[in-house]
Structure 1
Amino acid sequence: MTVRGLLLDLDGTLVDHEAAADAGLRAWLPTIGHPATDESVAHWTALQEPHLAAWRAGTITYAEQRRRRLRDFLATPSAPDSELDAIFAGYLKHYEAAWRAYDDVIPALRALPVPCAVLTNGSTTQQNKKLIRTGIAHLIGPVFTVDNLGTAKPDPAAFLRACERWGFQPHEVLSVGDNHDLDVRAARSAGLRATHLDRHGTGPFTEPHRIATLADLTL
């Protein structure tokens, strides 16, 4: 079957989120009186997923997941929202300054013979800002997020709703992303085709459709 659309993940696929988060964190921590140690970075990183999961489930707002993460990190359970928001804004300033698209992204997007869209578990505001700041927004079509779909990967409904709104049948769309569970297995369970972008060579090595760079993508 012919591929009519390419559905791309964003963080870890188009934009180097991990490098930006690490650089941003190490620049920000000393400004709030914390040493920028590997232990501090690991602690901050470990606190991310539980609160993001609550946001994706719809039980808290995006701003609240940030506040809860910061309360846990600083061990300040009674800190007021306004204070936490101001502190988190400092981190965002450094994180956003470190956003970079991978070197292979712009050439690959320009060479695509089909339209592409983004399906991301991030927030609409931040992810669109990320695409603009990294200079790739003009190469991307629709941006599907938890906010506008009402569900997140790995729920197959996220892929099905994205395809429906994009105007393609699932079997006409190829999903490409760095997370095998979220971007490959979940996509296939929704009827899409999928390719794993394994930038760091971590596998799974049994995956038959695996590439190391977007330059190797074939449709």
Structure 2
Amino acid sequence: MTPAIRAVLFDLDDTLFDHSGSVRAALAQWLPHVPDADLGRLTDVWFDLEHVHYDSWRLGDISFDEQRRRRIRDFWPHLGRQLQPDDDLDALFATYLTHYEHAWQTFDDASPVLTELRRLGYLTAVLTNGAATQQNAKIDQIGLRDQLDAVITSEQLAVAKPDPASYQGACQQLRVEPQQTLHIGDRSDLDVLGARAAGLHALHLDRNDAGAADTEERITSLHDLMTRLTTAAAAQSS
């Protein structure tokens, strides 16, 4: 018999925390004179650069501050401007970061679902590849701290998703077995395939409903999670 789920691990960005929405709002404030059409293009560029350089940091190739500098260095020409030798990349990123932090927001389904999970006796935690200081600040600002048993970061574990040791390390902190744990996140590679390879159950949170409709391990809202858990619990007891 499959062990019952005791703990639910959540990715943070674009799972509980609306990172993409916060970025779009920040860029609109940071680049107020850019026409809407160009802002859409530049937002796509920003996300592409974030993915490339953030993953380089996640893999340990560069520092966290350096991935920020590289994003600015690569983004600036798309504004039709050239960086000067004396331009301070850290200061330029800091102006964006101020707007980003002011735009931090959660998803409407995050708090009620976490509250219900805790009421039903599940352990709840965040497992994130993000920097510990920033990710904890997000949790505090969006008001989810009291609804989580732990916030576990790759910096804390010294290993990042999709390394199996990251998911297993989180399970150890919660004192549950991998097969008793469900992992949920927006990236199939990091949050689903990696988690399953480590022995956990996993669901892909596809908030944009962009995946294949017949995929059983896909949900489009955290509210769908409660239905899945209720069904699984009923099957377990039958």
TM over 0.5: yes
The within-5 A match list for 1:174-185 is 174-185=182-193
Gaps of 5+ in 2: 230-238
Q: Provide TM-score, normalisation by structure 2.
A: 0.84
Find the counterpart in structure 2 of residue 15 from structure 1.
17
Taking only the aligned residue pairs, the percentage that are identical comes to 45
Counterpart residue identity of residue 194, structure 1: A
Gaps of 5+ in 1: none
* Coordinate RMSD, CA, aligned: 1.9
Task: Give deviations 1:64-96, integer Å, cap 9, x for gaps.
Answer: 110111111124677568x21111111111111
Contact kept, 8 Å, 1:26 with 1:41, in 2: the verdict is: no
Deviates more, 1:43-52 or 1:2-11: 43-52
Find the counterpart in structure 1 of residue 98 from structure 2.
93
Counterpart residue identity of residue 192, structure 2: V
Find the counterpart in structure 2 of residue 209 from structure 1.
217
Q: Provide TM-score, normalisation by structure 1.
A: 0.90
Change (3 A) 1:80 1:137: farther
Q: Distance in 1 between matches of 2:34 and 2:220?
A: 36
Find the counterpart in structure 2 of residue 121 from structure 1.
129
The 4+ residue runs of structure 1 with deviation greater than 4 A are 33-36, 75-81
Count of aligned residue pairs for this structure pair: 216
Using the TM superposition, give the Cα deviation of residue 55 of structure 1 relative to its aligned residue in structure 2, in angstroms. Answer: 0.8
Q: Distance in 1 between matches of 2:179 and 2:84?
A: 50
Counterpart residue identity of residue 149, structure 1: L
Change (3 A) 1:72 1:217: same
Find the counterpart in structure 2 of residue 58 from structure 1.
60
1:26 aligns with 2:28: yes
Counterpart residue identity of residue 198, structure 1: D
Using the TM superposition, give the Cα deviation of residue 61 of structure 1 relative to its aligned residue in structure 2, in angstroms. Answer: 1.2
1:173 aligns with 2:181: yes
Rg bigger for which structure? 2
